[in-house]
C-alpha cells in the first residue's frame, strides 16, 4: 500500500460528512428521487421562507408528516459504524451532516453538527428562541420564550436562507 493510502493511526482529528444517502438506507425518502420527499410539492411551496409566509399550514403539515415518518425510522449500520468510530477515538472524530433527521444521535453519535438544522427542534421567527420539539407544529403553536403564535417553525435551513 502506498504511503498516501496507508491507514493513519496518528491522525489528530477525523471529520466525516454525511448526506441523504446514509439515511436513505433507513428508509428516509430523499428529496430528489422519483417518489421522494418533494413529490406532490414544489420546493417553493414548502421549503422557503416565502412559503411559510404564504401558507404556514401547508408548510407545517409537510414537516409534521416528515417528523412522524422519522419517528418510525431506525439508524442503520452506517450510523452505528460512525458511532463506534467515535467511541474508539473519543474527541477525535467529528461528524457533520447535511441531514435534518436525528438518526446519527439515535445511532449513538455525539460529536456532530447539523449544518441544515434539525427537524426535531423548533425556532421562533420573532425572538429567535430555539428548543427541542418532537410534536406537531401549527400556526397556533406558541413560542416558549415570547408566547407569540404563527411564528414558530421547524429549526431547519430552507432554500434561500444560506
Q: Is residue 79 among the annotated active site residues?
A: no
> For residue 73, how many other CB atoms are within 10 A of its CB?
16
Rg, the chain, Cα only: 18
Task: Supply 50's cell numbers.
Answer: 416565502
Question: Alpha carbon 89 to chain centroid distance?
Answer: 24
Catalytic residue, candidates 5, 41, 60, 116:
116
SS3 94: strand
Half-sphere exposure of 51 (CA within 13 A, CB side): 21
Task: Supply 9's cell numbers.
Answer: 493511526
Catalytic annotation, residues: 116
Amino acid at each position: 500500500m502506498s504511503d498516501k493510502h496507508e491507514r493513519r493511526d496518528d491522525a489528530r482529528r477525523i471529520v466525516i460528512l454525511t448526506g441523504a444517502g446514509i439515511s436513505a438506507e433507513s428508509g428516509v425518502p430523499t428529496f430528489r428521487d422519483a417518489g421522494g420527499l418533494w413529490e406532490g410539492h414544489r420546493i417553493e411551496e414548502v421549503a422557503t421562507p416565502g412559503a411559510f409566509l404564504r401558507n404556514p399550514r401547508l408548510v407545517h403539515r409537510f414537516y409534521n408528516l416528515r417528523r412522524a415518518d422519522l419517528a418510525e425510522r431506525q439508524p442503520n449500520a452506517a450510523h452505528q459504524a460512525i458511532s463506534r468510530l467515535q467511541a474508539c477515538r473519543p474527541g477525535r472524530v467529528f461528524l457533520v451532516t447535511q441531514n435534518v433527521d436525528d438518526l446519527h444521535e439515535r445511532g449513538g453519535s455525539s460529536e456532530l453538527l447539523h449544518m441544515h438544522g434539525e427537524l426535531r427542534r423548533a425556532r421562533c421567527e420573532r425572538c429567535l428562541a430555539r428548543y427541542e420539539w418532537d410534536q406537531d407544529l401549527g400556526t397556533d403553536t406558541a413560542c416558549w420564550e415570547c408566547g407569540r403564535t404563527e411564528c414558530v417553525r421547524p429549526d431547519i435551513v430552507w432554500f434561500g436562507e444560506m
